């Protein structure tokens, strides 16, 4: 059977959220059936390369970044017609025999403490409508979803009431994805190794409803090395006291971290996406996209592709 046919067959089955007896194949098995995770020719690095063929940096960016599979970030402002955009993205991946990776990033008060990516839905009702549309557009097609990066680490400037609201919305999002997108593997973001201690993060994950998700993600949009990130993830998993898978963002961790998160100098591209059964490694951040007006890209706003940043990540300088 071809990879596309296997994916189509898997997409036709309605299955429950991941449990110890989940009849779905593992993510690693699903990726082994397919041609891996989706290489989207419309992500920012690819669009820049297509628009600047004569630029001396274009070939390096094409080879090292835009030809690699990575996640597509969906926010409240990224796509005017969210349902159509998600449907098109997941259908394109399925047609290519690949598994799409989507990031849902639209919680109210998103990045409230960091502010470089501040925004999100106006309130709970708007967010619930947004995540319902997001999940329905994925439908029964296989997909990997990373849910709300930084949401469980970004508590320091929130009131107890806002924390409770955030946890409730995450639980709603997990339930909605499990019910409406039954072939989706959802990973709730759990920050990174230099942020929240594993026991505290495990409690936050449990309160957010991780038991109904496939697992959690670590190091999203950060730079911490894979070995350290895996060690942190294993401690979080042990503290959960229940089975859980995890995914590590390796997009920009080739040189490890230096304690800074916003366009730091000296970072490097990490290992390409893998289907390691012990710990899935993906490019969740899009290398070359700015973290905000900071670091070595002080004038480039968050989420905008900057070829100079990309070149730094390729060279490790």
CATH number reported for the structural domain that contains residue 142 in this entry: 3.20.20.40
CB 140 within 8 A of CB 183: yes
By annotation, the residues acting in catalysis are 150, 291
User: Is 33 annotated for ligand binding?
Assistant: no
Best CA proximity match to 286, nearest among 69, 107, 117: 69
Predicted confidence (pLDDT) at residue 199 exceeds the cutoff of 50? yes
Question: What pLDDT is stored for residue 315 in this prediction?
Answer: 96
User: Is the residue at 251 inside a domain?
Assistant: yes
User: Is 222 annotated for ligand binding?
Assistant: yes
Question: What pLDDT is stored for residue 20 in this prediction?
Answer: 46
In percent, the amount of the chain with pLDDT more than 70 equals: 86
Question: What pLDDT is stored for residue 279 in this prediction?
Answer: 65
- Please name the helix (run of DSSP H) or strand (run of DSSP E) that holds residue 51, with its range, or none: helix 44-51
User: Is the residue at 24 inside a domain?
Assistant: no
pLDDT interval class at 110 (50, 70, 90): confident
User: Is 192 annotated for ligand binding?
Assistant: yes
User: Is the residue at 27 inside a domain?
Assistant: no
Predicted confidence (pLDDT) at residue 144 exceeds the cutoff of 80? yes
260-284: b or e for each residue (b if 16 or more CB lie within 10 Å)?
Answer: ebbbbeebbbbebbbbeeebbbbbb
User: Is 195 annotated for ligand binding?
Assistant: yes
User: Is the residue at 29 inside a domain?
Assistant: no
Range from 11-25, 31-45, 164-178, 208-222 carrying the lowest mean pLDDT: 11-25
Predicted confidence (pLDDT) at residue 68 exceeds the cutoff of 80? yes
Question: What pLDDT is stored for residue 22 in this prediction?
Answer: 56
User: Is the residue at 254 inside a domain?
Assistant: yes
pLDDT interval class at 24 (50, 70, 90): low
pLDDT digits (tens, 9 = 90+) for 280-300: 899 999 999 999 999 999 999
Question: What pLDDT is stored for residue 114 in this prediction?
Answer: 64
User: Is 214 annotated for ligand binding?
Assistant: no
User: Is the residue at 16 inside a domain?
Assistant: no
Model confidence, pTM: 0.90
User: Is the residue at 302 inside a domain?
Assistant: yes
Under DSSP, is residue 130 helix (H, G, I), strand (E, B) or coil? helix
Question: What pLDDT is stored for residue 178 in this prediction?
Answer: 95
Predicted confidence (pLDDT) at residue 116 exceeds the cutoff of 90? no
Structural domain total, the chain: 1
Question: What pLDDT is stored for residue 78 in this prediction?
Answer: 83
Domain coverage including residue 159:
3-8+37-315
């Amino acid at each position: 059977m071809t990879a596309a046919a296997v994916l189509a067959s898997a997409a036709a089955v309605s299955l429950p959220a991941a449990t110890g007896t989940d009849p779905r194949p593992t993510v690693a098995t699903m990726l082994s059936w397919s041609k891996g995770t989706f290489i989207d020719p419309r992500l920012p690095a690819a669009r820049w390369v297509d628009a600047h063929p004569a630029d001396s940096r274009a070939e390096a960016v094409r080879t090292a970044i835009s030809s690699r599979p990575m996640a597509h970030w969906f926010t409240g402002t990224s796509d005017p017609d969210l349902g159509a955009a998600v449907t098109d993205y997941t259908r394109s991946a399925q047609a290519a025999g690949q598994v799409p990776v989507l990031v849902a990033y639209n919680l109210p008060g998103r990045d409230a403490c960091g502010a470089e990516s501040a925004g999100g839905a106006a309130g709970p009702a708007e967010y619930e409508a947004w995540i319902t549309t997001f999940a329905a557009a994925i439908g029964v097609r296989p997909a990997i979803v990373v849910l709300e990066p930084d949401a469980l680490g970004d508590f320091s400037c929130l009131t107890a009431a806002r924390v409770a609201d955030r946890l409730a919305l995450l639980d709603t999002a997990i339930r909605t994805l499990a019910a409406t997108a039954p072939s989706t593997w959802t990973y709730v973001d759990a920050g990174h190794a230099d942020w929240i201690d594993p026991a505290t993060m495990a409690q936050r994950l449990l309160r957010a409803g991780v038991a109904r998700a496939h697992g959690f993600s670590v190091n999203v949009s950060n730079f911490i090395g894979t070995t350290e990130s895996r060690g942190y993830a294993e401690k979080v998993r042990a503290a959960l006291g229940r089975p859980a898978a995890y995914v590590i963002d390796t997009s920009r961790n080739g040189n490890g971290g230096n304690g800074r998160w916003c366009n730091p100098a000296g970072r490097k591209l990490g290992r390409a996406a893998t289907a390691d059964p012990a710990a899935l490694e993906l490019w969740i951040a899009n290398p070359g996209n700015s973290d905000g007006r900071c670091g070595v890209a002080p004038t480039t706003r968050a989420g905008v592709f900057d070829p100079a940043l990309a070149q730094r990540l390729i060279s490790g300088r």
